[in-house]
Amino acid sequence: MTTTVSTASESPTAVSPVRAYDPTPRLADFSAAGRWKGRLSTTVEARRFGFTVAEPTSLGGTDEAANPIEYLLGSLAGCVSVVVETVAGELDVPVAAFESHATGTLDIRGFLGTADVSPHFQQLTLTLTLTTSVPEAELAELKDQVRRRCPLLNLLTDAGVDLREVWVVRRP
């Protein structure tokens, strides 16, 4: 499994921060492969990393690992952390610490097929705790860019998920 970034006129390169507007598409391909193990459990490989996805015993699984929803919430937490660090660096906002916490609610009847409801999140709360010396009143640009540039945040928003974003700013 590989991750590459390329433009129409260059070969694949590593991802690098770009501050000025760049009109040339730089498409990045990502992939992961899963192999079903039975009892609602799957092993997944992404690049040189592997992990297991499993359902809890309450849903008939082995409870040997996080389930897909928990991985998605963890992926959102990780993705927004990467974007906060990147944007803060570009805007010269010092970050002493950053924490993210994602909690989602879904109606499992959609997954179980027992009601005509969407199986995705009904509501999701993302709490972002930033420790910085910059006054909260001066963080609007950081927050706006994080909102605009985080791929998973945008994916969930574009899917129509009721996503509530809560920023907590602390002093170092």
pLDDT tens for each residue of 144-170: 999 999 999 999 999 999 999 999 999
- Decide the pairing of beta strands 97-106 and 49-54: unpaired
> Which residue in this structure is represented by tokens 């945008």?
154
- Decide the pairing of beta strands 49-54 and 4-6: unpaired
Supply the DSSP symbol for 9: T
Residue 81 burial (C-beta neighbours within 10 Å; 0-12, 13-18, 19+): middle
Furthest-apart CA pair in the chain: how many Å?
A: 52
Taking the C-alpha atoms of residue 34 and residue 2, their distance in angstroms, rounded to an integer, is 15
9, pLDDT greater than 80: no
Q: What is the pLDDT of residues 78-91, one digit of tens each?
A: 999 999 999 999 99
Q: What is the pLDDT of residues 45-65, one digit of tens each?
A: 999 999 999 999 999 999 999
18, pLDDT greater than 70: no
